[in-house]
Structure 1
C-alpha cells in the first residue's frame, strides 16, 4: 500500500514524468521523423522523459542518427542511456566509428546522480533496464525504465523478478516505467504488484484517448496508437510516491504507441 502523503510541514515534491515507446522515431505513416517526436515531447513540459525503442546509429530505419543525443540536445535535457542491443560498427567502417545501439533512454531536466544498465533474462531480442537516481530539491527519485519481451509470459515473469530486485527497501521513492507488453493485472507482473502500485489506478485525476469509445473511457489504453485497446505502457510507484494525475496523450502520429504522463508527488527528505 502507498504511504500517506507528507504533512504540510514537508510538502511533496512535484515531478512530471513521461514514458513513451517511440518505435525508433517511425510514426504510423511509416516515416522516420525525429523533429516531430521532439516537438511532441517538448509540448509535455516534463521533468523526466523515459523512452523505449531508441536507436543510436543503428541503421537505415532511423537514418543512422544518434536519436538519444539529438533528442537530449533538442530538449536541452540531460541524457542517461541503457542499450539492450549493442553491436559493433558496420563491416568496412573506419576505425573509431560509433557502435550501433538500441534500447532505453532517460532525459531529465533534473540532475542525474546515478545511472546503470541491467541486462534482463530471456531469449530472442535482448532486453535491459536503465536505472537512474535523479536529484530533487529536498529529495531524490529512483527511475527504472524498461521494455519487456513479447515472447512469453514466463520470460516476462523472470524479467519482472529481476526488475523488482533492482529496487531495495531503502529506495522509498521510486518508479518503474516502460512497455511491459502485458496488462497491469497479468499474472507475470505479480512480483511487481507486491512492491509497487499501478500509478493509473492511484491517480486522483485521469484522462485518456478513448474518445467516443465510452466503454474504454478512463481505461488508459496505449496501444496500438490508432485504435488503442491494450494498456501495456505503464508507470508503477513505490511507497514514497503519490500520483496527482495520469494521462494518455495523443501521439500525433509520432509512434505506434501513445505516451503516458504522470504528475508525481515525491516524499521529501528521503
Structure 2
C-alpha cells in the first residue's frame, strides 16, 4: 500500500532533545558521581539525550564502570554507543573481555532504528560521530552526535566537512549536536551552516535557566559551568525540523559544561 503524502494539516511531531558534555561524570567538586548525573538527566524529561565524554571501563577516574549502560538502565532508555577511543584493557586477553572506551552516547525513549559510528579526521585525541535514526509516530529523526577537536580550526573544519557529508538529501529531518569546541559563527563551521541552522537562533523561545547572570539570559553560554562565557555546546537542525524552544540548564555541579535542552518539531510523514 502506498503511504499517503503528508497533508498541510498534519501537525509536526514534538521531540525534546538534550546535549551534554558530562566530563565522564566528574563534577566541579572533582567527584565522580553517576547517580547525581542520572538524577539531573531524569529531571529534564527528554525523549533523546546525547552525551559526550562518556567512559566505559576507562579506569579509576570513573570507577572503571560502564557509564553508558548504567545511565541507560537508570533512565530506562535505549542506548546507542559511539566510541572515539577503543582500546584493549591492560591485563586482558580474552576476545570477549570489555574494552577500555570513551566517546559519545545516545539515550532514547524512542525506538532506535539505525546506529553507526564514523571516525573523524585529525591528529591527537581520536574523535568520532555517532549517527542514529529514531522512530517517531508518523515520522523519523536522524541524530548525529559528536565532539570536535580542540587542536586547531583547520582540523575542526575537516571534521565538520565529514559530518556534513553524513547527512544526505533523503535525510530531510535531522539534527547535529554536541561539543564543537568553537563558537557557532566560527569560520570552520561554514560547511555546517550551508546545510543546517543553529537551533538556538531559530528557537521561538530561549532562556538560560542557570540563573546566576540575568544579563546572559538569552546568550546560550555553556562553558565553563561555573562562569560560562563560551557557547560551544550546540544543536543544529535541517530544514525539516523547527525549534519551539532552546534552554541552557544548571548542571548542578555534575560537569564542567552546562546541558542544552532543545524542543524540536519534526515534519511528519517523512
The TM-score with structure 1 as length reference comes to 0.95
In the alignment, is residue 35 of structure 1 matched against residue 57 of structure 2? Answer: no
Q: Do structure 1's residue 226 and structure 2's residue 226 form an aligned pair? A: yes
Alpha-carbon distance change, 125 to 115 in structure 1, aligned in 2, over 3 angstroms? same
2:192 alignment counterpart: 192
**In structure 2, distance between residues paired with 1:215 and 1:260:** 18
Q: Does 1:142 align with 2:127?
A: no
Measure how far apart 1:216 and its partner are: 2.6
Q: For residues 97 and 7 of structure 1, what CA distance do their matches in structure 2 show?
A: 51
Who is 1:203 aligned against?
203
Asked if 1:182 corresponds to 2:182, the answer is yes
Contact 2:210 2:249 in 1 (8 A): no
CA deviation vs aligned residue, 1:145-166 (integer Å, no higher than 9, x gap): 0000000000000000000000
Distance 1:8 1:250 in 2: 38
* Residue deviations 1:63-102 (CA, integer Å, cap 9, x gap): 0000000000000000000000000021x23634210000
Looking at structure 2, the residues matched to 209 and 233 of structure 1 have their Cα atoms a distance apart, in angstroms, of: 15
The 1-side partners of 2:131 and 2:137 are apart by 20
Equivalent residue, structure 2, for 1:93: 92
**What's the offset of the Cα at 1:169?**
1.0
Shift of residue 217 of structure 1?
2.9
CA distance in 2 between counterparts of 1:162 and 1:205 reads 31
Unmatched runs of 5 consecutive residues or more in structure 2: 1-5
- Cα distance in 2 for residues equivalent to 1:99 and 1:55: 11
Determine if contact 1:16/1:48 at 8 Å carries over to the other structure.
Answer: yes
Equivalences for 1:1-270 in 2 at 5 Å? Answer: 9-90=9-90, 92-93=91-92, 95=94, 96-209=96-209, 211=211, 213-270=213-270
Asked whether the equivalents of residues 210 and 248 of structure 2 are also in contact (C-alpha less than 8 Å), the reply is no
Alignment check: 8 A CA contact 1:17 1:264 kept: yes
1:47–1:108 CA contact under 8 A, matched in 2: yes
Tell me, yes or no, if the aligned pair for 1:210 and 1:216 is still in contact at 8 Å: no
* Aligned length in residues: 264
Contact (CA 8 Å) 1:210, 1:218: kept in 2 or not? no
- Distance in 2 separating the partners of 1:179 and 1:212: 22
Matched-pair contact (CA < 8 Å) for 2:55–2:68? yes
1:3 corresponding residue in structure 2? none
Equivalent-residue separation in structure 1 for 2:7 and 2:205 (angstroms):
21
Once residues 116 and 188 of structure 2 are traced to their aligned partners in structure 1, the CA distance between those partners, rounded to angstroms, is: 25
Equivalent pair of 2:208/2:216 in contact (CA under 8 Å)? no
Query: Over residues 114-133 of structure 1, what are the superposed CA-to-partner deviations in whole Å (9 max), with x where a residue is unaligned?
Result: 00000000000000000000
Return the alpha-carbon distance in structure 2 between the equivalents of residues 188 and 208 of structure 1: 26
Structure 1: stretches of 5+ with no match in the other structure: 1-5
CA distance in 2, matches of 1:266, 1:135: 11
Q: 2 CA distance for matches of 1:212 and 1:140?
A: 37
TM-score of the superposed pair, with normalisation by structure 2: 0.95
In the TM superposition, residue 211 of structure 1 has moved relative to its aligned partner by 3.7
